[in-house]
A and B are shown apart, each in its own frame.
Chain A
């Protein structure tokens, strides 16, 4: 089924460890983004990309890196995990032509706990 695939679904990290959350989509969407969802804070944009080789920061980028080497993949890297990064992370994609943007498709999420 076409969609956005995120791995892993669950992860526990120790403070200071690094890891990469994977996101892949098979809809040939140009626009990909990462959100985190926290109770009482809603969903907040971390990083986004409008195509291979192009990334930019969202509203809460600190502590995270991204890269976009292919249209399909948009991994999110935690450089040195902190308890404040305990959250549910969602990857989302949409079509983007530079003039029009379509609806968003979300992955099923990665639930991350940092101890």
Chain B
């Protein structure tokens, strides 16, 4: 059974810092890994999708890497801003009929101005 763990559970940083959020998973036979952002009371916004053949993806100030052999993914946020404050969730899934997303519990990020 896939288990996804995110560390740290919460993070508070001053504006401008570069930061790393960690995601680990127990079953390396995943197909894809996706990072989401969730603002309080809102839905999930997709940030980055890393497909099984890829090792990293970049979008603006965000960079996500994937190491399936070690069961780890990291989300790097450069030059953090108060608007980055949210809960960040990573989720893995398999390429099979009936696949489901397996989510970590999330990292609550607060960027102070």
Contact = CB atoms under 8 A, between A and B. Distances in A.
B100 A103 contact: no
Nearest to B106: A42
A10 to B, nearest CB: 10
B92 to A, nearest CB: 11
Contacts, number: 49
A114 B36 CA distance: 28
B99 interface: yes
Interface string B13-41: 00000000000000000011010100001
Interface residues of B, number: 22
Interface residues of A, number: 24
Instruction: Tell me what chain A mostly uses at the interface: helix, strand, loop, or mixed.
Output: strand
A63 B5 CA distance: 29
Contact of A103 (B34, B97, B105): B34
B30 to A, nearest CB: 12
Interface of B: 31-32, 34, 36, 41-46, 49, 91, 93, 95, 97-101, 103-105
